[in-house]
Amino acid sequence: MGRLSLRAAFGNQQIAIVHVNELNGGPQTAAHLLEFDSVHGRWPVPIASTEHSITVDGNPIEYTNFGARDEVPWDRAGVAIVLECSGKFLTLDVLEQYFARGVPKVLVAAPVKQGALNIVMGVNDKLYDPARHHVITAFLHHKLPGSRGESDPRISGHPARRHHYDSRCD
């Protein structure tokens, strides 16, 4: 989900991807997987890597592979929002590590168990208050044309999730 979020955000003048923290593979593997997606195909954007970064169309993105969230230099990178895409950090206690490093907001790619605003886009997204909510999850709600908010029965499994990148994801 993190790589897809990076692809989706790329080119948006209001978003700057400045840091990726991914536990496995290193920056060379991350760059390769960003360019070649088995479902979405090849991304036609120039991608390169160094020992500590990924470069996307000339834009360097710092890369680390820390297992503990409190080791990642979010504050140094000036991160305003972390996209937690690992699916492993689902409690406020664990997510506190981000705030201890100066991150003001965390958007989680899976439902947080308690104490976070779990948003379903198109259903309860109006409840979001930027001054109050610092841990957020967001989902897309699939509707049939003319439906009264029922989920689309043609789409099986979980609704598509909307978020951004920390592949253990940051």
- The greatest distance separating any two alpha carbons of the chain, rounded to the nearest whole angstrom, comes to 52
Show the domains of the chain with their CATH numbers: 2-140 (3.40.50.720)
Whole-angstrom distance, CA of residue 8 vs CA of residue 136: 19
**Counting Cβ atoms within 10 Å, is residue 87 exposed (0-12), middle (13-18) or buried (19+)?**
middle
Q: Which residue has the tokens 């309860």?
A: 124
Q: What H or E segment, with its residue span, contains residue 137?
A: strand 135-140
Closest CA to 54 of 6, 102, 107, 93: 6
Asked whether the beta carbons of 27 and 48 are under 8 A apart, the reply is no
Question: How high is the pLDDT of residue 90?
Answer: 86
Per-residue tens of pLDDT for the chain, all 170 residues: 788 888 888 888 888 899 999 988 899 999 999 999 888 899 999 999 999 999 999 999 999 999 888 889 888 888 899 988 888 888 888 888 888 888 999 988 888 888 888 888 788 889 989 898 888 887 544 443 443 444 333 333 333 332 333 433 33
Question: How high is the pLDDT of residue 163?
Answer: 31
Question: How high is the pLDDT of residue 45?
Answer: 94
